[in-house]
Copies of this chain bind each other. A is one copy, B any other.
């Protein structure tokens, strides 16, 4: 039987090794390589043609979701599992809309990972309980603790906030989103008003607190 070929991307070597060990114990899967640098991963993964990509969300330079998005352009049928430290509704939604096949938290156990792998192997999706709870607005407590402040923002505003926190200039953001600079300035003003802070420093703090960026 052909084994399912997996590539792991996590900026910490030790984590890569640990995840590899867990996966190697499952006969149907094999880890063919791992990357610690998301930029390097982006360049080299296409030649490996993996079946499933297991990616950490929090990485320097390029986050896991961005990496998946970019790789999907080259490998359209790539299946992906996103691993994350924190739970953020906006990110979860974004991940789902980008066709991420599974989304699991690092504070879950290996069985959760096995289930996710098994599901993704069978072309199904898997989102762990806390993830779906966040999406279903069931546990308001979790939501409140995780991203209450961002709740008042529109999707566009959240996106702009993320980019501001990534230290992009207004001009760059406008270019990235293909709109006028004045539009981004308007969004920024709305963000300052809605989040009740006085400058970008305040915006960045909230964005990081809410897990919008790392």
Contact = CB atoms under 8 A, between A and B. Distances in A.
Interface in A112-131: 112-113
A213 to B, nearest CB: 7
Contacts of A70: none
A151 interface: no
A76 interface: no
A79 B30 CA distance: 35
A90 interface: no
Contacts of A107: 11-14, 36
Identical chains bound together, number = 2
A174 B116 CA distance: 49
A94 interface: no
Interface string A1-43: 0000000000111110111011001000000000010000000
Interface of A: 11-15, 17-19, 21-22, 25, 36, 83, 85, 106-110, 112-113, 164-169, 197-205, 208, 213
12 contacts: A13-B110, A14-B106, A14-B108, A14-B109, A14-B112, A14-B113, A17-B22, A17-B110, A18-B18, A21-B25, A169-B198, A204-B205
